[in-house]
């Protein structure tokens, strides 16, 4: 490092605390859709809160509220947009009822794994489309991906599922676009928050469920009631979680504060994925050895059935909503290009 460069770096380091000291303090009151005790699902956001305060020298603070403490999980988007709260941590798939394209920014059946998903979001058109989706729908929010998880389990069932006929008449908790596929296969689906699933299984309101990673599902005790745990999670090979910030709050933040929030969320994307990848195998082994769980792989007939159902759902959604069609076409185009890299660079499985 030459003398001029060293002096420039020193000036920047010395100037940064002064710049942050001049920033008006911001407290992000952040209700979350997932209990922070759930590893990889709710656990990332308290770490983000810690990093925001450390990196900003205290000009940014985040107070995290557990599900239902401040607003119900399914009302976070509306509450952030109207300014009832100034931020929230959730997943875009929850807004499918009002924004058809929203699930494409959460989890896509037979869709991208985490690395590919992040590549499209950050270096394709993903983030531009993600923000446009909320803007066009009239929501006053700024969106940042702030966690991403490894593949989920495909579900917990009381009985074996060996053919599409075995799904007929099931009542199952299911999320997002995968739930649309299951409905086509004769499953009555419902979208329940994580905290309500066990009791719904226990009282017979549902017969089966999917929710999250093995470590999360086990924490919620599903294995006590349903013993067949199916893989792969064709409906969610990766799941993105978002930090929503009220648009006025975001605009009032300084450039430094916005950069810190963006950097903290990008760091959380890497950290949450690593956390999810690290903890699943030990939980799966314990489930089999001590909890009586039987891990099953979908046979080819079932995977083909799910994929055909997804292609039908995708075509219908694209025909019914122009923006869904735009986002799906862009994602598919990116994935076609990525496939060249994937097929040549990675070892065959």
Q: In this structure, are 304 and 201 located in the same domain? A: yes
Q: Is residue 4 part of a domain?
A: no
**For the domain that residue 257 is a member of, what is the CATH number?**
3.40.190.170
Q: In this structure, are 120 and 268 located in the same domain? A: yes
Q: Are strands 171-173 and 188-190 parallel, antiparallel or unpaired?
A: parallel
Q: In this structure, are 193 and 308 located in the same domain? A: yes
Structure tokens that stand for 185 in this block = 């296969």
Q: In this structure, are 35 and 79 located in the same domain? A: yes
* Under 8 Å between Cβ of 178 and 109: yes
Question: What range does the domain containing 181 cover?
Answer: 155-236+279-345
> For the chain, how many residues are written?
349
Question: How sure is the predictor about 12, in pLDDT bands with cuts at 50, 70 and 90?
Answer: very low
Alpha helices in the chain (DSSP H): 3-22, 44-56, 76-82, 114-123, 126-136, 176-184, 194-202, 214-219, 247-252, 255-290, 300-320, 322-345
Identify the pLDDT of residue 9.
Answer: 39
Q: In this structure, are 251 and 325 located in the same domain? A: no
| Last residue within a domain, chosen from 246, 278, 310 | 278
Q: Is residue 297 part of a domain?
A: yes
Render pLDDT for 186-202 as a digit per residue (tens, 0 to 9). Answer: 999 999 988 899 999 99
Structure tokens that stand for 119 in this block = 């590549």
Q: In this structure, are 178 and 298 located in the same domain? A: yes
| Last residue within a domain, chosen from 278, 300, 329 | 278
**For the domain that residue 221 is a member of, what is the CATH number?**
3.40.190.10
Q: In this structure, are 27 and 56 located in the same domain? A: yes
Q: In this structure, are 79 and 200 located in the same domain? A: no
Q: Say which range, 1-15, 168-182, 201-215, has the weakest mean pLDDT.
A: 1-15
pTM over 0.85: yes
Handedness of CA 113, 270, 45, 324 (dihedral sign): negative
Report the number of distinct structural domains present in the chain.
2
Q: Is residue 3 part of a domain?
A: no
Q: Is residue 311 part of a domain?
A: yes
Q: Are strands 239-246 and 141-149 parallel, antiparallel or unpaired?
A: antiparallel
| Last residue within a domain, chosen from 278, 309, 333 | 278
Q: In this structure, are 61 and 167 located in the same domain? A: no
The dihedral formed by the CA atoms of 200, 206, 212 and 213, expressed in degrees to the nearest 10:
100
Q: In this structure, are 231 and 318 located in the same domain? A: yes
Render pLDDT for 77-99 as a digit per residue (tens, 0 to 9). Answer: 999 999 999 999 999 999 999 99
Q: In this structure, are 71 and 209 located in the same domain? A: no
Taking 50 as the threshold, does the pLDDT of residue 343 lie above it? yes
Q: Are strands 26-31 and 208-209 parallel, antiparallel or unpaired?
A: unpaired
Render pLDDT for 102-143 as a digit per residue (tens, 0 to 9). Answer: 999 999 999 999 999 999 999 999 999 999 999 999 999 999
Q: In this structure, are 232 and 167 located in the same domain? A: yes
* Under 8 Å between Cβ of 29 and 65: yes
């Amino acid at each position: 490092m030459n003398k001029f460069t060293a002096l420039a770096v020193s000036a920047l380091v010395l100037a940064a605390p002064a710049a942050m000291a001049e920033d008006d303090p911001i407290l992000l009151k952040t209700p979350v859709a997932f209990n922070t005790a759930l590893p990889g699902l709710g656990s990332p956001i308290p770490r983000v809160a810690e990093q925001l305060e450390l990196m900003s020298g205290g000009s940014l603070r985040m107070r995290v509220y557990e599900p239902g403490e401040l607003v119900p999980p399914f009302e976070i988007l509306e509450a952030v947009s109207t300014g009832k709260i100034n931020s929230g941590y959730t997943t875009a798939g929850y807004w499918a009822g009002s924004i058809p394209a929203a699930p494409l920014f959460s989890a896509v059946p037979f869709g991208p794994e985490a690395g590919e998903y992040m590549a499209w979001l950050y270096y394709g058109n993903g983030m531009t489309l993600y923000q446009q989706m909320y803007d066009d729908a009239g929501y006053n929010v700024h969106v940042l991906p702030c966690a991403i998880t490894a593949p989920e389990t495909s579900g917990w069932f009381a009985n074996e599922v060996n053919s599409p006929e075995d799904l007929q008449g099931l009542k199952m908790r299911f999320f997002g676009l995968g739930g649309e596929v299951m409905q086509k296969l004769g499953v009555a689906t419902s979208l329940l928050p994580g905290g309500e699933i066990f009791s719904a299984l226990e009282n017979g309101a549902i017969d089966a469920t999917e929710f999250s990673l093995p470590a999360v599902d086990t924490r919620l005790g599903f294995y006590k009631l349903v013993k067949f745990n199916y893989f792969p999670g064709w409906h969610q090979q990766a799941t993105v979680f978002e930090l929503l910030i009220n648009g006025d709050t975001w605009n009032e933040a300084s450039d430094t504060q916005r950069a810190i929030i963006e950097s903290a969320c990008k760091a959380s994307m890497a950290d949450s994925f690593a956390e999810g990848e690290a903890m699943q195998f030990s939980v799966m082994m314990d489930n089999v050895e001590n909890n009586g769980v039987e891990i099953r792989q979908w046979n080819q007939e079932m995977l083909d059935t799910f994929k055909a159902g997804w292609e039908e759902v995708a075509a219908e959604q694209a025909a019914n909503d122009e923006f869904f069609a735009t986002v799906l076409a862009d994602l598919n185009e990116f994935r076609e290009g990525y496939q060249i890299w994937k097929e040549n660079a990675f070892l065959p499985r």
